[in-house]
Amino acid sequence: MTWAFGEIDKLLAHASPWHRVEYVKAALGEENSCGNKDFAAVVLALGAASTDSRNLMDLVVQIYALEVGLEGAFPGGCLNREGLIEYLARTLKRNPEVVFAGIPHDYLDEVTLRADRCGIEGLAAGVDTENVKPNFTSGLHVLVEAGGTISGLAQTNQYTDFESPLDMYALPGSAEVGPPGGFDNPHNPGKPGVVETALWLMGHAGIPSSSERALRAFDRIQSDDKDVHTGRLVSLATRIVSSAEVYALLGNGRDAVSTGGFDGTIYGCGHSAQAAVLLRITDRLSLLRLEDAPRAFDRILSATLNLDPEYRERPLAHLAARIGLCKTSDEQLATIEQILKSARELPGNGCGEVHSALSAALPTLPEDRRLATFNALLTDIKHSFKNGQDLLAATSLSGLSGSLGALTVDNRSKALNDLVDVASPLPGTARALVFRKAFSSLARRMTDAVGFGFNEMLQAIRNLPGGDRDGPLVSLSQEISGLPVEEIAPATDKVFEAVKAIQESGHVSGELFAALAELLKIQRQDNRYEVFHRLMDVTFRILDKQYEAVVSFLLARLYAAIPELPFDVQKTAWLSLSEGLDRCPPAIRSALAEELPDRWGVE
């Protein structure tokens, strides 16, 4: 479509904001006042094009970039997702949540701006395939609905020896569109105009352009073009708003396949195409009525399980992420087991994405089913270790550890211990990452620092190699501020004891020391001086180990912390710290000593 987009670039670059709004509506099949035959022809051609060419959503993104500027559309090189959605919501007068649900999330994630391009000189020279990476693999197609778009097209048929209910629009150097069934004209190697013909049929038959009725219109067209057929199904899937539309695409699921009664139209495609359609249908599940979602979920799962393992990973993960929409809590666990069993059949490390999706969805389940789901995932991860898939297991454990806090209070301690046991084969650094996420998840929900979970967390840290303990301790320290006031001091004391143990085998990082210094600010006034002295002790232990490179940083943090102390002990704290300064190397001592008298007014 290079030539066509070059022409449209010129049009859009000089169009008024009002016209751009109408072009966006036309590109998305909304009723519009576009009235431009060239633009309408390109929209129709894009609707029929395969996934190898630029799709209609790319065109919308380009219009958005022209409207807000390249920097506004791609801050930091990534698509401004929220800005695009707000722009479309204003343009289409729709709820932003509805707009967001209508755009496949993969598309929003994968459109990026290359750093080696700047400025914008029309769309072809600025935001195009040279510097924007559209997600062509997503199979995104936008169905152009009947309404002013087709009727506004001028008659430009270049060939008169073919009859067609629609005019043919020849776009040099592009994927052509033409009459239904295609034609053998040597000047037109393009694809049959399936989308255009269906829309024409809908318009002339007075058929409303909902997904379900559009499907019936498309079924009146005979075409062997698999790419166009797939694009049509994806277009319909991205517009689903009812369970009836799900069943229109999926029929009776596996029963339809086993009996050969393909009353669900996706079964006429290959498994790769079926997977693409299933992804889009799953994205629309949350838009269905609550009472309809469980049955639709089952239908999608049934179709997904029919796919060859190599195409099953992403549809399974999409379903796993929406497990909360699946039936009652009793049936959810059986479905989770079914999903995990199917995931184990995936090639390579394919079940990792399913593990991550289920872990993230765990908090959406009823409380009485969360522990069972957690244990099912943990058991599945154990199998990964036994199969020698250590990297997969480490990634899956990291995701699961972030869901510990979603468990009920009486289940968290045992779940943490089980997690620690399963993580024991991992190298120290990988274990530290798992623990850090677990501790952050748990600490945010602690109500008793000395009771639930806290001692288990510290014990898990002690079992790590000395050099890997810093990160988990940082996480634990940062969450102490959320504890009840009376629990902050005992929790702080336990953290300092763990830090002291680190110093026996290694040294305290600047990140950990900074986290410890922040603890001073959240102490009660009567406990601050004691915490300050413990910070001094940590600092001078580091100095004894000859870690001179970090001592200057630590001392500066200590001096900066003195104003947090009660006023009557500030001078005493300064004098105590100054005495320790005499133990510092000359370079550090002279650098700090010069500014101290002026800062504190002490000679």
**Per-residue model confidence as pLDDT tens digits over 561-592:** 888 888 888 888 888 877 767 767 676 666 66
| Position 233 in a domain | no
CA distance 329 to 294: 11
| Position 314 in a domain | no
Tell me: pLDDT of 368 over 80. yes
Q: Flag the least confident range among 173-182, 259-268, 393-402, 460-469.
A: 173-182
Q: What is the pLDDT of residue 380?
A: 87
Domain boundary among 136, 165, 195: 195
Query: pTM for this structure?
Result: 0.51
CA distance 7 to 60: 16
b/e map 268-291, b = 16+ CB within 10 Å: ebebebbbbbbbbbbbbbeebeee
Mean pLDDT of 110-123: 42
CA angle centred on 306, ends 301 and 308, rounded to 5°: 120
Radius of gyration of the chain (CA): 31
Is residue 50 within 8 Å of 227, Cβ to Cβ? yes
Phi/psi of residue 220, nearest 5 degrees: -85, 0
Digit-coded pLDDT (tens) for 248-287: 888 754 444 343 333 446 877 888 888 888 998 998 888 8
The most confident of the ranges 150-159, 320-329, 538-547 is 320-329
Torsion sign (Cα): 583, 586, 591, 594: positive
Is residue 133 within 8 Å of 111, Cβ to Cβ? yes
Domains: count for the chain? 2
Burial class (CB in 10 A: 0-12, 13-18, 19+), 111: buried
Q: What is the pLDDT of residue 256?
A: 40
Domain boundary among 157, 180, 195: 195
What residues contact 31, with CB distance under 8 A and at least 6 apart? 25, 147, 148
The most confident of the ranges 134-148, 365-379, 428-442 is 365-379
The SS3 assignment for 258 reads helix
CA distance 281 to 436: 36
Instruction: Dump strand ranges (E) for 9-60.
Output: none
Confidence of residue 161 (pLDDT cuts 50, 70, 90): very low
Q: What is the pLDDT of residue 200?
A: 37
Is residue 223 within 8 Å of 181, Cβ to Cβ? yes
Confidence of residue 432 (pLDDT cuts 50, 70, 90): confident
CA distance 377 to 21: 48
CA distance 387 to 80: 41
Reading the block at residue 441, the tokens are 């998840």
Q: What is the pLDDT of residue 598?
A: 47
C-alpha distances (whole Å) from 573 to each of 224, 526, 531 are: 84, 14, 11
Is residue 592 within 8 Å of 556, Cβ to Cβ? yes
Polymer length of the chain? 603
Q: What is the pLDDT of residue 12?
A: 62
C-alpha distances (whole Å) from 402 to each of 67, 324, 398, 420 are: 40, 18, 7, 13
| Position 88 in a domain | yes
Is residue 450 within 8 Å of 490, Cβ to Cβ? yes
Identity of the residue numbered 318? H
Tell me: pLDDT of 300 over 60. yes
Mean pLDDT of 487-501: 84
Is residue 17 within 8 Å of 145, Cβ to Cβ? no
| Position 257 in a domain | no
Mean pLDDT of 288-317: 89
Percent of the chain with pLDDT over 70: 53
The most confident of the ranges 234-243, 285-294, 446-455 is 285-294
C-alpha distances (whole Å) from 450 to each of 134, 454, 469, 486, 517 are: 52, 6, 20, 11, 21
| Position 120 in a domain | yes
CA distance 61 to 111: 9
CA distance 557 to 521: 12
Q: How many Cα atoms sit within 13 Å of 260 on the Cβ side?
A: 0
The most confident of the ranges 191-200, 227-236, 289-298 is 289-298
Domain boundary among 161, 195, 229: 195
CA distance 100 to 374: 30
Q: What is the pLDDT of residue 577?
A: 78
| Position 185 in a domain | yes
CA distance 334 to 190: 49
CA distance 594 to 166: 86
Q: What is the pLDDT of residue 563?
A: 84
Confidence of residue 189 (pLDDT cuts 50, 70, 90): very low
Closest CA to 509 of 466, 544, 479: 466
Digit-coded pLDDT (tens) for 16-34: 666 667 766 666 655 566 6
Considering the chain, what is the average pLDDT of its residues?
66
Closest CA to 264 of 197, 313, 212, 309: 212
Confidence of residue 539 (pLDDT cuts 50, 70, 90): confident
Confidence of residue 552 (pLDDT cuts 50, 70, 90): low
Q: What is the pLDDT of residue 159?
A: 23
Closest CA to 11 of 37, 31, 32, 33: 37
Instruction: Dump strand ranges (E) for 137-293.
Output: none
| Position 359 in a domain | no
Closest CA to 492 of 504, 502, 482, 480: 480
Is residue 88 within 8 Å of 24, Cβ to Cβ? yes
| Position 167 in a domain | yes
Q: What is the pLDDT of residue 155?
A: 26
Closest CA to 43 of 156, 149, 161, 187: 149
Tell me: pLDDT of 370 over 50. yes
Q: What is the pLDDT of residue 218?
A: 40
> Domain of 516?
507-603
